[in-house]
């Protein structure tokens, strides 16, 4: 939980001397008493030094020191050597309103096997702080007045980075900086709706947040099955003819949650479909940077920059808290998508992102993260083999999750329930189904991104206990 400063600086609190009668020191004393009593000067608030307050009020310094002295003697204020004068925690006639109670942080389970969360213990705090500090120190004053949200320097750096790291065909004009992948999806969906699109083809199963954003902008999801080779392009083309849908949302680098990569042959046919029906493919570049057995696969966007929107963010690579992402857009979408954003990330955030990328901060973070995640994935697979040898694990050596097939007769929903009772977070793959009532295998999606290394063995042991409990006679039953 983030704790706010408990002793706020109150140097700019308005003290109205004209509201009272009498000599200046009496009027100032009454004004301070009133500010404390009404809570405008809360308990612990630090008052300005006597010299500064005297200058701001146009009175002599003696007037301020006299008032400070009187109210300190009464216990309304307190003076601390080296830390100034402040409102006393409990001050005589003080009726300062108590500070609101902090909101309790959401408790996280001890064994976090939920997918989609990076290793928050190793978020690139120092690298990002350095980028932010340098930007604040070096940004010209005129840049601090920027209001329109468009920072060309950030777009130039992003285009260069994506061309180098994701093999994208991008120039600065094609790039839009967003608040994250969901914000980018919202903008694109809004413009597609304005262009007459009413449906969007989506992988089934898939990450629900992107579908929800599209639905909020008026696009109905049309499910397309996924198999061991990625999204079924033949089924996608058939659904397109049946519904008239000409937009598709896919995760070709590492499908979530099935965990496969779209094959080269299907990539070709997906682009051919988009050209044939005058369609557009939205490429959610999910987990693309984390491939452990070979180099990450290049972006689909490079094959058809006129037909593919590339969407990415720092949410999985660094931390969702930065709230930064990007789009690489075909020319015909650029103006509309830029206009569709209610607000852009701040100038400072965009410049910090540019510095973070240009100085190699993200590259250094990703190198360390790949090594850490690869070792953790190997440890997880080894522990699963020992504790649950009858369960098959699937998914390419990439990303932050694997898929676990459960033994015959064991329901994923039961394992999730028994796991929760043992303080382990588990996810039924049905959570990501577009059609939740359709037949589906009994599988769990196991995330290891934010699972502490020392807890891997114990987490799997706890999972195995939940599986055994779900397999006990009398548990579960027909759906």
For the chain, give every domain's residue range.
1-105, 124-360, 364-470
168 and 326 Cβ atoms separated by less than 8 Å: no
- Indicate whether 143 pLDDT > 50: yes
In this prediction, residue 223 carries a pLDDT of 97
251 and 203 Cβ atoms separated by less than 8 Å: yes
- Indicate whether 395 pLDDT > 50: yes
- Indicate whether 424 pLDDT > 50: yes
Average of per-residue pLDDT values in the chain:
89
In this prediction, residue 235 carries a pLDDT of 98
For 81, phi then psi, to 5°, come to: -60, 125
Find residue 398's DSSP bridge partners.
291
In this structure, the number of other CB atoms found within 10 A of the CB of residue 130 comes to 16
- Indicate whether 2 pLDDT > 80: no
In this prediction, residue 261 carries a pLDDT of 95
Find residue 248's DSSP bridge partners.
201, 281
271 and 281 Cβ atoms separated by less than 8 Å: yes
In this prediction, residue 56 carries a pLDDT of 86
For 83, phi then psi, to 5°, come to: -130, 10
Q: How confident is the model at residue 479 (pLDDT cuts 50, 70, 90)?
A: very low
- Indicate whether 313 pLDDT > 60: yes
- Indicate whether 379 pLDDT > 60: yes
| Residue 361 Cα distances to 52, 139, 318, 366, angstroms | 43, 19, 11, 9
Distance CA 67, CA 14 (A): 16
Q: What is the mean pLDDT of residues 76-88?
A: 83
Pairwise pLDDT comparison (92 vs 132), residue with the higher score:
132
In terms of Cα–Cα distance, which of 282, 188, 201 is closest to 246? 201
Q: How confident is the model at residue 320 (pLDDT cuts 50, 70, 90)?
A: very high
Helices and strands, counts by H and E, the chain: 14, 15
Could you check whether the bond before residue 8 is cis, i.e. omega within 30 degrees of 0? no
Distance CA 462, CA 466 (A): 6
Distance CA 80, CA 62 (A): 19
In this structure, the number of other CB atoms found within 10 A of the CB of residue 401 comes to 26
Distance CA 252, CA 206 (A): 12
- What is the model's pTM? 0.81
Highest CATH level, class, for 364-470: alpha beta
Q: How confident is the model at residue 105 (pLDDT cuts 50, 70, 90)?
A: low
In this prediction, residue 17 carries a pLDDT of 84
- Indicate whether 26 pLDDT > 50: yes
In this prediction, residue 220 carries a pLDDT of 97
- CATH code of the domain made up of 1-105: 1.10.10.10
The DSSP element (H or E) to which 226 belongs, if any, is: strand 220-227
Q: What single DSSP character describes residue 302?
A: G
**Span 247-259, pLDDT tens digits:** 999 999 999 999 9
Fold identical between 1-105 and 364-470?
A: no
In terms of Cα–Cα distance, which of 73, 75, 71, 53 is closest to 62? 53
Pairwise pLDDT comparison (150 vs 185), residue with the higher score:
185
What is the CATH architecture of 124-360? 3-Layer(aba) Sandwich (3.40)
């Amino acid at each position: 939980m983030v704790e706010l400063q408990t002793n706020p600086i109150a140097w700019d609190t308005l003290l109205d001397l004209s509201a009272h009668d009498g000599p200046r020191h009496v009027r100032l004393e009454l004004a301070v008493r009133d500010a404390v009593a009404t809570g405008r000067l809360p308990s612990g608030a630090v008052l300005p030094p006597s010299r500064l307050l005297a200058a701001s009020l146009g009175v002599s310094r003696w007037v301020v020191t006299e008032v400070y002295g009187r109210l300190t003697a009464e216990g309304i204020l307190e003076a601390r050597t080296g830390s100034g004068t402040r409102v006393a925690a409990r001050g005589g006639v003080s009726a300062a309103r108590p500070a609101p109670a902090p909101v309790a942080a959401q408790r996280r389970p001890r064994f976090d096997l939920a997918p989609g969360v990076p290793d928050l213990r190793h978020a690139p705090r120092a690298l990002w702080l350095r980028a932010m500090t340098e930007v604040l120190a070096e940004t010209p004053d005129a840049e601090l007045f920027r209001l329109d949200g468009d920072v060309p320097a950030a777009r130039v750096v992003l285009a260069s980075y994506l061309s180098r790291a994701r093999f994208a065909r991008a120039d600065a004009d094609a790039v839009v900086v967003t608040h994250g992948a969901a914000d980018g999806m919202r903008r694109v969906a809004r413009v597609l709706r304005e262009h007459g699109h009413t449906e969007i083809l989506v992988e089934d199963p898939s990450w629900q947040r992107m579908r929800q954003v599209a639905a909020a902008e008026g696009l109905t999801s049309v499910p397309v099955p996924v198999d061991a080779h990625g999204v079924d392009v033949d089924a996608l083309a058939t659904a397109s003819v049946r519904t008239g849908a000409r937009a598709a949302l896919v995760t070709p680098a590492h499908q979530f949650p099935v965990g496969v990569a779209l094959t080269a042959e299907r990539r070709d046919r997906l682009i051919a479909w988009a050209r044939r029906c005058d369609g557009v493919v939205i490429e959610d570049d999910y987990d693309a940077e984390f491939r452990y057995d070979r180099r990450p696969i290049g972006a689909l966007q490079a094959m058809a920059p006129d037909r593919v929107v590339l969407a990415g963010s720092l949410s999985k690579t660094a931390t969702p808290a930065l709230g930064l992402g990007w789009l690489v857009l075909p020319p015909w979408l650029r103006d509309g998508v830029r206009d569709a954003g209610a607000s852009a990330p701040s100038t400072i955030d965009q410049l910090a992102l540019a510095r973070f990328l240009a100085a190699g901060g993200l590259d250094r973070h990703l190198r360390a993260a790949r090594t850490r995640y690869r070792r953790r994935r190997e440890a997880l697979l080894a522990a699963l083999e020992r504790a649950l040898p009858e369960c098959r694990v699937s998914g390419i050596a990439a990303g932050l999750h694997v898929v676990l097939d459960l033994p015959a007769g064991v329901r994923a929903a039961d394992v999730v329930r028994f796991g929760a009772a043992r303080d382990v977070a588990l996810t039924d793959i049905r959570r990501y189904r577009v059609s939740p009532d359709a037949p589906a295998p009994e599988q769990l999606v196991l995330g290891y991104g934010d699972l502490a290394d020392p807890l891997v063995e114990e987490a799997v042991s706890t999972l195995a206990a939940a599986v055994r409990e779900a397999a006990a006679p009398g548990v579960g039953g027909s759906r």
